[in-house]
Each structure stands twice: as C-alpha cells, then as structure tokens.
C-alpha cells in the first residue's frame, strides 16, 4: 500500500500543493478541502495511513534490532506498534473531523 | 607448470583440546578442474589426516559439504579452485551453527526445526485411498520448487537474523512447511500454523533475501517465507473477522 | 573438553556485503515514509482547522528546506516502491497451469501497472 500510494502523495503535497496556485489562496483551500473530504478519498487515506504506519513500525523495529538493540526487542515492539496505533487513532480523528 | 600450488586457509577446532580455534594454511596442488572439496580431500590424504569435514556425493546432491568459502556459504563440491587462483582460499565451517570439530557443524538444531513443521502429508481422514492420491501436473507445479531442498543449510549460514533469534525456524524449514501447505493432497495447514506464525518463524524474517541468493537448488526460501506471511496474515484476519468460521 | 564452539554472526553484518547494505538502505526508507505520514496527518489537521492555519502551513512548505525534505522523502519512497515491486514475483507468484509467469511479467502486472494507475488517478484527480 505504501509502495503504491506514497510517491504520488508526496508529489501532491510537496510540489502540487505549494507550487500550483489558482492565484486565490482561499479558492485553493476550498478545492483541496473539497477533494480531501470526499468520502472515498477519506477512506482511502485512512486505509493507506493505517497499513503504512504498521508496516513502517514493524520495519523500523527490525532495523533497530538489526543494528544491535535485539536485547530490548520487546520494548521496541511496544514503542513502535503503539506509535503506529496512536498514528492510526490520530488519522481517524483528523479525517473524521475535517 | 608441473607444480602449481594454491593456499587453503582452513579453520581448525578440536573440542577436546585446549587451544582456541585457529586457521591453518595448507599448500595444495592446483588443478584447473579441482573443486575446494578435492583440495580438502588432498589435505586429508596427503598432508594432515586429522582434518575433519563432511562430504558424500561430490555432485551437489547430498547437501553435506556446505562450508564458508571466503566468507560465502557454498557447496564445496561446486566451487572451483580456478575461480580463486592464485589468491588463497579461506575455508570455514558454516556460520550460525555450533562447530563440532574443524569444518563439521552440529545439525541437531536444524533437524529439530525441520521436524517442528510436520513435514509430511496430514489428512483429516486417516484411511489412505485405494492406490495413491492423484495429482495433476499443475497441482504438482504449485509446490515442486519448494520440494527441491537438499538440506545443505547454506541458507541458514546466509541469514543475519538467525543469530539473534536462536529458535528461529529459518529458511529451509519454513520453505518445507510451505511446500506441504501448498500440496493439494495435504490438509494440515492449520496444524502447522502455530509453528509457522510467530516471531520465531515467518515474522522473524525481514526479507534480506540472501537465503535465496545462496541456495544451490533454486528453492527460493525467501519467497516461500513471504508467501507464508501472506497466508498467515489471511489466517489471522479470518480468525478476527470470522471467529465462528471453520479455519 | 570444551564442546561445540559457537560462532556468532558478525554484529556489523549489514555493512559487510553489498547485498546486506542494499537491504539496509531498502529498510531505512521506511523511516522516511513513517516521517512523511506524520507530516501528512499534520497537513490534514491544519486543513481541518480552517483556511488561515492551512495557508500558513502551505507557506512554510515553500521553504527550500521543506522542499528538500519532500524531495528526500520522494526519493526514499520511489526506492521503496521499486524494490518492493521487484520483489512481488517472489511474494505472489502467478501461474498459468503448470507454468509460472516470468518475474518481469508479474512485477509489471502486480506492481508497476497498478502503481502507474494509482499515481495517475491521484494526480489527475488533483490537477484536474
Ligand atoms: S533451501 Fe536451499 S540453501 Fe536452504 S537447505 Fe535447502 S537447498 Fe540448501
Ligand atoms: S558432497 Fe554432496 S553436495 Fe557436495
């Protein structure tokens, strides 16, 4: 999921959003807001964020274990996966209250 | 020309002595068609009869001659001296395994791991059919690749994760479990799931992929593990979403 | 009598060999992706707060440093995507009868084509 969506997301938020403008900042906001609050977009965003966060948490944990922190792998697990869970809850909140 | 030689730096260790593990150099006759195993046999026959190592078939079938050759896990009957000559060749026992003596490693752990995945056809109905279970060529093709393993353990010596997870099932055992799970005649997937599902099995794997790179039989254990991860994830979701369903 | 000798795998294995180093780089990209997701959530949060807050953030995103970070994240994400799609044939082999489809075909149909489709759809939806 991360692999499919991330590059395009980054292009959009990193290049399209800051550097293409219709000249009217309020109108830009309106349009962006409109796109993001469309329900299918919200759902896709949520699923992508949720899956990618856990994917990243798992990999980061394993990188740290590979780099020599294997002794504290349980601590890392708690830390990484609860971080991902917190991010997922945050995504739920943010997307739900847009 | 007549007397070209090549140096083999050989790992020596005797469990009953008191010295540390050492590296011993041997000057071995160089022949273009010799493999590292030929050189080891020459040492054993002509230079030092105390050197211990395993071998049998000399043709990449039995899987007993695996060693580290210049740091890479290889079948020594399949590595030619000419690919290294005139540089010296370092020969060590497979890493990630306890060394019994010289180049001989202990495979007890490995065999126990193979056993742990129940590598046989499991059927719900005990009675075997009249004759044999029938299988189409495409059903055979599903798992054939994963059944080619010769238990040479090179994949274990290529895996950087095993050392940190002593009970990690490891590539060949997971590939073997997957081979039976993919077999149309088998019904034992749920019985293997427990051994296969945890941090000490598929989720201990980070997909480094070196097991597949070193496998002399193209078994692709790394692929098998990832496929087993997918299967295991599906199994988990099925449990969570359909707890009442038959697994 | 000392018994069998344990020989641990070198602790610094991930710098020892090209294949191991490439593995580490591949895995490290997930740090950037994780960081980017946090940013994405902030961006969405700001949007929820209304036009002023949002425009302040967009203003900040024009800063060269922000752009550089984005480009870094983009490079990491591209590397992540490409390595991942190249591995899909091992993870999801496709067969027609007895024959396994060639790896390139699987990588393209299961990886690159959906990637193009998704990216195209997103960019089209945004730029339209
Ligand atoms: S999977 Fe390959 S490398 Fe591993 S034990 Fe079997 S034949 Fe050897
Ligand atoms: S001696 Fe049998 S595989 Fe090398």
- Domain CATH for C113: 1.20.1300.10
Query: What residues line ligand 1, using a CB cutoff of 6 Å?
Result: B 149-155, 171-172, 175, 214-217, 219, 221
* Per-residue model confidence (pLDDT) at position B240: 79
* Per-residue model confidence (pLDDT) at position B218: 92
Q: Classify B141 in phi/psi space as left (phi over 0), alpha (psi -120 to 50) or beta.
A: alpha
CB atoms within 10 A of CB B132: 8
pLDDT confidence bin for A60, thresholds 50/70/90: very high
Among residues A37, A36, A50, the alpha carbon closest in space to that of A1 is found at A50
Residue B247 pLDDT exceeds 50:
no
* Whole-angstrom distance, CA of residue B104 vs CA of residue B68: 11
* Cα angle for residues B114, B117, B119 (degrees, 5° grid): 75
* Whole-angstrom distance, CA of residue B207 vs CA of residue B224: 11
* All structural domains of chain B with their residue ranges: 5-105, 108-241
* Whole-angstrom distance, CA of residue C90 vs CA of residue C21: 20
pLDDT confidence bin for A28, thresholds 50/70/90: confident
Size of interface A-C (CB pairs under 8 A): 133
The beta strand positions in chain B, using DSSP E, are 5-12, 22-29, 66-69, 72-75, 89-92, 99-101, 104-105
Q: Touching B: which chains, 3+ CB pairs < 8 A? A: A, C
Give domain status of residue C48, yes or no. yes
Per-residue pLDDT of chain C (128 residues; tens, 9 = 90+): 577 888 888 888 888 888 999 999 999 998 998 988 898 898 888 888 888 887 888 888 888 888 888 889 888 988 998 888 888 888 888 878 778 888 888 888 888 888 888 888 888 877 76
Question: Which candidate from B16, B106, B212 shows the least CB-CB separation from C1?
Answer: B16
Task: State the distance from the centre of ligand 1 to the C-alpha of B195, rounded, in angstroms.
Answer: 19
* Per-residue model confidence (pLDDT) at position B54: 96
What is the span of the domain harbouring residue C100?
13-127
Give domain status of residue C4, yes or no. no
- Domain B5-105: homologous superfamily in CATH: Beta-grasp domain (3.10.20.30)
Please indicate whether residue B138 or residue B89 has the higher confidence score (pLDDT).
B89
pLDDT digits over B27-75, tens only?
A: 999 999 999 999 999 999 999 999 999 999 999 999 999 999 999 999 9
Question: Which candidate from A17, A36, A56 shows the least CB-CB separation from C30?
Answer: A56
Task: State the distance from the centre of ligand 1 to the C-alpha of B149, rounded, in angstroms.
Answer: 5
Residue B2 pLDDT exceeds 70:
no
- Please give, rounded to a whole number of angstroms, the shortest distance from the CA of C91 to a CA of chain A: 14
Please indicate whether residue A85 or residue B126 has the higher confidence score (pLDDT).
A85
Indicate which residue's Cα is closest to atom 7 of ligand 1: B149
pLDDT digits over B161-183, tens only?
A: 998 888 899 999 999 999 999 99
* Per-residue model confidence (pLDDT) at position B177: 92
ipTM of predicted complex: 0.85
Nearest CA in chain A to B206: A62
pLDDT digits over B195-227, tens only?
A: 888 888 898 899 999 999 999 999 999 999 999
Number of domains making up chain C: 1
Nearest CA in chain B to A69: B164
Residue A78 pLDDT exceeds 80:
yes
Please give the structure tokens belonging to residue C118.
């998704």
Contact predicate B13/B53, CB 8 Å: no
Q: Which atom of ligand 1 lies nearest, measured to the CA of B217?
A: 7
* All structural domains of chain A with their residue ranges: 44-98
Residue B9 pLDDT exceeds 70:
yes
Give chain C positions within 8 Å (CB) of A18: 58, 61-62, 66-67
Q: Which atom of ligand 2 lies nearest, measured to the CA of B54?
A: 1
Residue B234 pLDDT exceeds 70:
yes
* Per-residue model confidence (pLDDT) at position A23: 66
B5-12/B89-92 β-pairing: parallel
* Per-residue model confidence (pLDDT) at position B107: 92
Nearest CA in chain B to A62: B206
Q: Which atom of ligand 2 lies nearest, measured to the CA of B77?
A: 4
* Whole-angstrom distance, CA of residue B205 vs CA of residue B171: 9
| Average pLDDT value for chain B | 90
Task: State the distance from the centre of ligand 2 to the C-alpha of C65, rounded, in angstroms.
Answer: 58
Contact predicate B188/B129, CB 8 Å: no
Architecture of domain B108-241: Orthogonal Bundle (1.10)
Indicate which residue's Cα is closest to atom 1 of ligand 2: B58
Ligand nearest to the Cα of B146, by number: 1
pLDDT confidence bin for B244, thresholds 50/70/90: low
Task: State the distance from the centre of ligand 2 to the C-alpha of B148, rounded, in angstroms.
Answer: 15
């Amino acid at each position: 999921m991360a692999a499919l969506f991330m590059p395009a997301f980054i292009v959009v938020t990193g290049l399209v959003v800051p550097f293409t403008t219709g000249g009217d900042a309020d109108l830009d906001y309106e349009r962006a807001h409109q796109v993001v609050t469309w329900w299918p977009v919200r759902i896709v965003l949520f699923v992508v964020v949720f899956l990618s966060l856990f994917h990243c948490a798992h990999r980061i944990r394993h990188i740290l274990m590979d780099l020599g922190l294997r002794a504290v792998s349980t601590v890392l697990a708690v830390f990484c996966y609860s971080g991902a869970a917190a991010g997922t809850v945050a995504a739920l909140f943010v997307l739900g209250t847009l | 020309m007549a007397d070209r030689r090549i140096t083999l730096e050989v790992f020596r260790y005797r469990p009953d002595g008191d010295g540390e593990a050492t590296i011993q150099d041997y000057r071995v006759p160089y022949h273009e068609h010799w493999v590292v195993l030929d050189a080891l046999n020459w040492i054993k026959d002509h230079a030092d009869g105390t050197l211990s190592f395993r071998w049998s078939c000399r043709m990449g079938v039995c899987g007993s001659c695996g060693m580290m050759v210049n740091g890479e896990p290889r079948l020594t009957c399949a590595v030619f001296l000419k690919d290294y000559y005139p540089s010296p060749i370092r020969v060590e026992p497979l890493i990630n395994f306890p060394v019994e003596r010289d180049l001989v490693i202990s495979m007890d752990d490995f065999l126990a791991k193979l056993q742990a995945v129940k590598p046989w056809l499991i059927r719900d109905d005990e009675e075997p059919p009249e004759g044999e279970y029938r299988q189409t060529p495409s059903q055979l093709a599903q798992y054939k690749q994963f059944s080619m393993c010769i238990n040479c353990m090179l994949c274990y010596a290529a895996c950087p994760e095993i050392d940190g997870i002593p009970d990690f099932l490891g590539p060949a055992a997971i590939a073997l479990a997957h081979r039976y799970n993919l077999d149309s005649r088998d019904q034992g997937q749920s019985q293997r799931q427990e051994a296969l599902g945890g941090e000490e099995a598929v989720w201990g794997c980070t997909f480094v992929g070196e097991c597949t790179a070193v496998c002399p039989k193209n078994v692709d254990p790394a692929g098998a593990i990832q496929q087993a991860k997918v299967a295991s994830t599906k199994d988990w979701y099925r449990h969570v979403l359909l707890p009442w369903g038959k697994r | 009598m000392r018994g069998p000798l344990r020989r641990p795998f070198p602790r610094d294995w991930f710098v020892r060999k090209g294949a191991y180093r490439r593995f580490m780089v591949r895995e490290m990209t997930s740090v950037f992706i994780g960081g980017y997701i946090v940013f994405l959530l902030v961006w969405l949060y700001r949007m929820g707060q209304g036009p002023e807050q949002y425009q302040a953030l967009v203003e900040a995103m024009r800063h060269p440093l922000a752009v550089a970070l984005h480009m870094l994240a983009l490079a990491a994400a591209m590397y992540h995507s490409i390595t991942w799609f190249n591995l899909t044939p091992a993870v999801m082999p496709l067969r027609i009868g007895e024959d396994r489809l060639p790896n390139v075909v699987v990588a393209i149909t299961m990886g690159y084509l959906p990637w193009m489709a998704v990216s195209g759809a997103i960019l089209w939806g945004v730029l339209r």
